[in-house]
Structure 1
C-alpha cells in the first residue's frame, strides 16, 4: 500500500490505582525508546492510521479507546523512503498524536520493537528519544491529571 504523507504517534497509557503509567517501546532498527509511531496508508485518516499502528505494534486483540491529542509536529519528508512518490513540494509531513487507554489490555510487542516497559511520567519522559514523543506524553500526562481526556475517536 502507498505510504501517505503524514505520521502518527500513539501514547499508550494505563491507570494503576490513582496513578498513570505509560508504555515505551525500544525500536529494533535504531535502539531508541519511543511510543507507537507509523505512517498512514492509502486514504486512511490519521485516526485510522493510529488505530491500525497501535493494534499492529502492541498486538492488541480487541478495540480500545483512542483519544486525539492536540500535539503535532513536522518531520522532514526526506526521512521517509516514500517521499519521492509524494506530490512535488512536499518538504515536511505532519505528525498527529493520539493516546490509547490500555488499562484493561495486555500488549505484545511486534517485530519492530525488542521490548516494552511501563513507566511513570518522569521515567517515560526521560527515556524517550524524540521531542515530539515527549511533547505528546506531556500533554497526555496533564490531561490525565486534570481528568480532561477528549472524546475518543470512532
Structure 2
C-alpha cells in the first residue's frame, strides 16, 4: 500500500564545484530530483533509499548516509488518485520529506520513469527545475555546502 508521504532526494557530487543530478520525467517531460512515495509502513528515510535504487540504480545505501534537509513541503493528494481509495476522506495534502545524498560516482542506471539525467551546477539546476520545492531544497543544500554544515 502507498504510504501517505513523498520523498525528494537530491543526489550531488563534489567536483570543482558541487554538481546536482536532475532527472527528466517521461510522463511530464520536466526536470526534477529523485522523488517518490513511501510503501506500507516504510519510514521516509528508507523510502528515500529505495527511491535512489529504483530511479537511478544506486542501491544498498545505508539510510544513515542520506542527509535530512529542513525544507518541508506538501503535495495535493489529488495527484495520487490511484491510492486515494485506501486513504481516508479529508486527506487533502501529503507531506514531502527532503533529503540529499552525496554520490561517489556520476554514472547512473536510469529507470524507465525518466528520459534523461544531467549533472548540473546550482545555476543550471535552478533554470531547469520545474517544482518550487525542488528549488527550495536545492538552495538549502547549496547553502549547507558553502557553509560546510
Which TM-score band (shorter chain)? over 0.9
TM-score, length-normalised on structure 1? 0.90
Write out per-residue CA displacement over residues 122-150 of structure 1, whole angstroms, 9 at most, x where no aligned residue.
Answer: 101110000111111111111011111xx
User: What corresponds to 1:97 in structure 2?
Assistant: 98
Structure 1 Cα separation of the partners of residues 3 and 12 of structure 2: 27
Alignment of 1:71 onto 2:53? no
Bigger drift between 26-35 and 75-84 goes to: 75-84
| C-alpha RMSD of the superposition | 1.3
Contact kept, 8 Å, 1:5 with 1:83, in 2: the verdict is no
1:2-55 C-alpha deviation (Å, 9 max, x unpaired) = 1111110000100003x1000000001110000000001000111010010011
Q: TM-score, normalised by structure 2?
A: 0.93
Q: Is the 8 A contact 1:97 1:136 kept in 2?
A: yes
Q: CA separation in 1, counterparts of 2:41 and 2:88?
A: 15
* Secondary structure class of the residue paired with 1:129: coil
Q: CA deviation at 1:78?
A: 1.1
Q: State the 1:105 CA deviation.
A: 5.4
Residue 101 of structure 1, CA deviation: 0.7
Partner-residue secondary structure (3-state), 2:119? strand
Q: After the TM superposition, which segments of 4 or more aligned residues of structure 1 sit over 6 Å from their partners? A: none
Q: 2:54 matched to which residue of 1?
A: 56
Count of aligned pairs between the two proteins? 146
Segments of 5+ residues of structure 1 without an aligned counterpart are 149-154
Where do 5+ consecutive residues of structure 2 fail to align? none
User: What are the within-5 Å matches in structure 2 for residues 2-41 of structure 1?
Assistant: 2-17=1-16, 19-41=17-39
